[in-house]
Amino acid sequence: MTHGVIYDLVPLTHAETSEQSLADAFVVWVQSFLAASGRFHTISRTVASQLHTYLAQSNPGPVSWQVTPFYLGTGLDFYDPAIPVRDNLKSVFTTSDHMFVVVGSIEPRKNHRYILDAFDLLWKTGFSARLVIIGRHGWKNEDLIERIETHTQLNRQLFLFRDISDTELDFAYVQASALVIASESEGFGLPVVEAFHRGLPVLCSDIDIFRELADGRAIFFGLDDPRNLTNAVTKFCAINDPARRTERHPTPWITWEQSAEQLIDGILSETVDQRGVAIRSM
């Protein structure tokens, strides 16, 4: 029996943020795999629920499937303390002000535009905190890249790094005040658990997957108005001393080995409810 792993349903749920060819290919793959096997594993309960809903709506006939969730691990694969952190990255974090980092590929669903809108509102009031965007250039965001590269605060309070190593990413996590993540949709959200693993506070969009991972441990904001994030950042800065931003209280998370064990366990010990959905406690 062949089993398939699905990370997210973004090409289906947020097709406008993906290339159309990818969305088309994704539908073909899911339906073909359903016909051939129907044994799916997802990287969160949120995606499991989304997949079940999609399969039920798109296959109303007598078709069976199993969906079993598991979680991804944390740990930067190529982290090496012997690799030096570049001086220009170090200098960005050499400040007495708060530092907010954004980690993730620069693509529409990651919502960097929303974050920049929120910080623009803050900077207009004389707000001194810095925003560091870390991520490779994705797709459908050329205008945003131009906006960042021509921004009046670039290399003053706004910084962009698109080629950092895992060692440098770890440095950024350790030196920052908080992680900001404003995604419209995610299958999991590795930066959230990477931040928790290092004790870094998290400000995140109020979407299902982040509620699953971070409810009770993060500051949530709505995506209907950038001022929601502006208010969250302002409140965070009011109660947190930037001079103590590197003091940490890490939260344990599973390793990649434990993640693989969850997946294997799910493959070997699925139990199925009356709807054909595999249920497994995590």
pLDDT, tens digit, for every residue of 103-162?
A: 999 999 999 999 999 999 999 999 999 999 999 987 888 999 999 999 999 999 999 999
Per-residue confidence (pLDDT) for residue 138, from 0 to 100: 79
Selection from 233, 198, 237 nearest residue 219 by Cα: 233
The segment with the largest mean pLDDT, out of 57-71, 127-141, 222-236, 238-252, is 222-236
Cβ atoms within 10 A of the Cβ of 270, count? 17
Distance CA 274, CA 262 (A): 23
Computed on alpha carbons and rounded to an integer, the radius of gyration of the chain in Å comes to 20
User: Residue 275: its pLDDT value, please?
Assistant: 44
Q: Residue 247: is it exposed, middle or buried by C-beta count within 10 angstroms (0-12/13-18/19+)? A: exposed
Global pTM reads 0.91
pLDDT of residue 76: 86
53 Cβ contact list (under 8 Å, min separation 6): none
Task: Quote the mean pLDDT of the chain.
Answer: 91
Instruction: Locate all alpha helices (DSSP H) within the chain, ordered by sequence.
Output: 10-13, 20-36, 45-58, 87-92, 112-124, 142-149, 166-175, 190-197, 208-214, 226-239, 256-268
**Percentage of the chain exceeding pLDDT 90:** 79
The residues that bridge with 99 in the sheet, in sequence order, are: 130
Domains in the chain: boundaries = 4-73+255-279, 87-244
Q: Which residue in 197, 235, 193, 229 sits closest to 212, CA to CA?
A: 193
Its sign, for the CA torsion 11, 14, 16, 17, is negative
pLDDT value of position 270: 60
- Report the CATH architecture of 87-244: 3-Layer(aba) Sandwich (3.40)
Quick: pLDDT tens for 237-254.
999 999 999 999 999 999
Number of alpha carbons in the 13 Å side-chain half-sphere of residue 78: 7
- What confidence category does residue 271 fall into, taking pLDDT thresholds of 50, 70 and 90? low
Q: Token match 């459908």: residue?
A: 140
Residue 223 has pLDDT above 60, yes or no: yes
Look up residue 195 and give its two tokens.
């931040």
Q: Which residue has the higher pLDDT, 60 or 271?
A: 60
d(CA 55, CA 58): 5
